[in-house]
Amino acid sequence: MKLMLEYIDKDSFIHNLTGATKLICFILWCITTMITYDTRLLIFMIIFSLFLFKLSKIKLNEVSFVLMFILFFLLLNNIFIFIFAPNTGTEIYGTKTILFHLVGPYNVTLEQLFYQLNITLKYFSVIPLALIFILATNPGEFASSLNRIGVSYKISYSISLALRYIPDIINDYKNISIAKQARGIDLSKNEKLSKRIKNVSLILVPIVFSSIERIEKISCSMELRAFGYNKKRTWYNERKFKTNDFISMISFLMLVVVSVCLLFVNNGRFFNPFI
């Protein structure tokens, strides 16, 4: 299983889009999911996002660990929603169809299940696009394309460094973790949770110091190369916008328009099948 999220170089339709295009499309996609609770549109978005994931040629085993991590927190999210707001669905849809009683004030209602289903669908619609954006975007090319759409090259380069730096932090964590375990610090399930948390905290201190040292080296090397001296700069990985970039952005913009139109059709954000 792949334990870190970093750019995977492949020859696909998604990889050939500019980084700015992928960012704009991802933002438009997130806006659409935030606007709508229409189950029909969310199901379509999941199918379309899975199609895009397939189109990117990214293999499932390359993101399996991250997916399991996300699904675990998605399950926790649904549990806590039911614990702290068990009647949200009945309040939204205006009806109450009790399936069975659990304990105390907790009833499992069809409306609550439908509401939490929509929340789950929203997650599943965003996850593939988020993974595509991270794994199919070259940090250097992403910085250059951001600069082309008007973002300062200093900010663009900082974003590029951040995208390159995240895998290094994860790799440092793995190496330090292995070194600590070789010295007898147990991070497995054999230890108590409190002890494991304490042992993990021992790993974080070296990571902080190694990060500070790396930041100092990067800043010195950038200063020696006179970074920021000129108002403009050239990019090695620069890529011009092509027809596919504009078609992609227009397509994702149409999704936002559809979600806004559904607000008027449904008289709100929620599609109500219980009327």
What mean pLDDT is predicted for residues 119-127?
Answer: 92
Q: Judge whether 140 and 7 are in contact, CB under 8 Å.
A: no
Check residue 94 and report its DSSP letter: S
Give the burial class of 45: count Cβ atoms within 10 A of its Cβ; 0-12 exposed, 13-18 middle, 19 or more buried.
Answer: buried
Could you give the residue ranges of the DSSP H alpha helices within 56-87? 64-84
Distance CA 47, CA 80 (A): 27
What mean pLDDT is predicted for residues 95-118?
Answer: 88
Distance CA 9, CA 167 (A): 15
What mean pLDDT is predicted for residues 148-154?
Answer: 76
Q: For the beta carbon of residue 192, count every other beta carbon within 10 angstroms.
A: 10
Distance CA 136, CA 8 (A): 6
> What percent helix, strand, coil does the chain show, rounded to 5?
65, 5, 30
* pLDDT tens profile 18-36: 888 998 999 999 999 999 9
Distance CA 165, CA 183 (A): 27
Q: For the beta carbon of residue 75, count every other beta carbon within 10 angstroms.
A: 11
User: 209: which residues sit within 8 A by CB, 6+ positions away?
Assistant: none
Written as one letter, the residue type at 50 is L
Lowest mean pLDDT among 38-52, 111-125, 142-156, 256-270: 142-156
| pTM, to two decimals | 0.79
Q: Is the pLDDT of residue 2 over 60?
A: no
Check residue 60 and report its DSSP letter: G
The predicted structure's pLDDT at residue 1: 44
Distance CA 190, CA 1 (A): 22
Q: Is the pLDDT of residue 234 over 90?
A: no
DSSP, collapsed to helix, strand or coil, labels residue 86 as coil
Written as one letter, the residue type at 213 is E
Here the tokens at position 150 are 């008007």
Distance CA 36, CA 121 (A): 11
Q: Is the pLDDT of residue 267 over 80?
A: yes
Calculate the dihedral angle through the C-alpha atoms of 195, 207, 171, 215, rounding to the nearest 10 degrees: 170
Domain ranges of the chain: 1-138+242-275, 151-236
